[in-house]
Amino acid sequence: MECVEKLVQAVMEGDDDVAAEVAQEVVEKVEDLQPVVAKLTEAMRELGKKFETFEIFLPEMMCSSDAMTAAMDVFGQKLGASGAGKKKGVVVIGGAPGDMHEIGKNIVSTVLRSDGYEVADLGRDVAVLDFVKKAQELNADIIAVSALMTTTMPGAKEVIRILVEQGLREKYKVIVGGAPTNGKWAQEIGADGWAENSTDAVTLCNNLMGVE
């Protein structure tokens, strides 16, 4: 569909205004948004590969991430409506301290909302204490920490340390994800689970909450 291709192009070019506008058109014309999200995800993966090989640089990557966020925000309105009235739990999600990447996290946020979760997305480069404060404020069930760089992975461990220190560890489930992470590392830092992608994140949250 032409509007879908236009949206992919807008995201790849990092034009958040056009992405938001075309995303609205997609919402009006496309019944099932999941295949569209899959296309956008694949486009972002391609950009990620170009970033790793220095074909594009951080400013371009950030612009595309912002455009992806703009599209996901529009999609979230429809997906959220479809999940209304069946809230499964509350998830606080954010990028680890120092981590400036939001692509995967934004997709996870949108998919979790579509599956019936209330999601508080704190954005990128989130201070450790901000995860804890927001979880307390919302009486959250799950804290999700995204780390897309090896240098920011310790932030997830620090969130768990602070929870233990404040006597709050048993109150929240902590899950982690991001390209350099894996299940073994998640176990080592004491997390309750690890998700490789948005689909795994939904399954993991459902399992932790005891819902389908």
Give the pLDDT confidence of 62-105 residue by residue, as tens digits.
Answer: 888 789 889 988 987 676 555 544 689 999 999 999 998 877 78
What's the rounded Cα separation, in Å, for the pair 58 and 149?
Answer: 13
Phi and psi at 149, nearest 5°, equal -135, 145
SS3 label, residue 175: strand
pLDDT of res. 84: 46
**Domain co-membership, 125 together with 78:** no
- Tell me how many domains the chain contains: 2
Residue 192 has pLDDT above 70, yes or no: yes
**Domain co-membership, 67 together with 171:** no
For the segment 10-26, the average pLDDT, to the nearest whole number, is 95
**Domain co-membership, 66 together with 139:** no
**Domain co-membership, 139 together with 176:** yes
**CB contact set of 200 (below 8 Å; sequence gap of 6+):** 177
pLDDT of res. 195: 95
pLDDT of res. 85: 46
Contact 91, 135 (CB under 8 A): no
34 vs 205: which has the higher pLDDT: 205
**Domain co-membership, 116 together with 43:** no
**Domain co-membership, 73 together with 102:** no
Give the domain range for residue 19.
Answer: 2-82
Percentage of residues of the chain with pLDDT beyond 90 = 59
**Which of 53, 82, 111 represents a domain boundary (last residue)?**
82
114 vs 166: which has the higher pLDDT: 166
Contact 59, 87 (CB under 8 A): no
pLDDT of res. 83: 52
> Model pTM?
0.69
Percentage of residues of the chain with pLDDT beyond 70 = 94
Tens-place pLDDT, residues 26-60: 999 998 887 898 788 778 778 877 876 889 887 88
For the segment 158-175, the average pLDDT, to the nearest whole number, is 98
The CATH number for 173's domain is 3.40.50.280
DSSP per-residue codes, 83-139: TTT---EEEEEEEPTT----HHHHHHHHHHHHTTEEEEE--SS--HHHHHHHHHHHT
**Sheet hosting strand 117-121, strand order edge to edge:** 117-121, 89-95, 142-146, 173-177, 193-195
Contact 148, 58 (CB under 8 A): no
The CATH number for 61's domain is 1.10.1240.10
SS3 label, residue 77: helix
**Domain co-membership, 112 together with 200:** yes
**Domain co-membership, 147 together with 177:** yes
SS3 label, residue 73: helix
**Domain co-membership, 54 together with 96:** no
pLDDT of res. 76: 77
**Domain co-membership, 197 together with 96:** yes
**Which of 61, 82, 103 represents a domain boundary (last residue)?**
82
What Rg, from alpha-carbon coordinates, does the chain have? 17
**Domain co-membership, 43 together with 27:** yes
Closest by Cα among 78, 13, 73, 17 to 43: 13
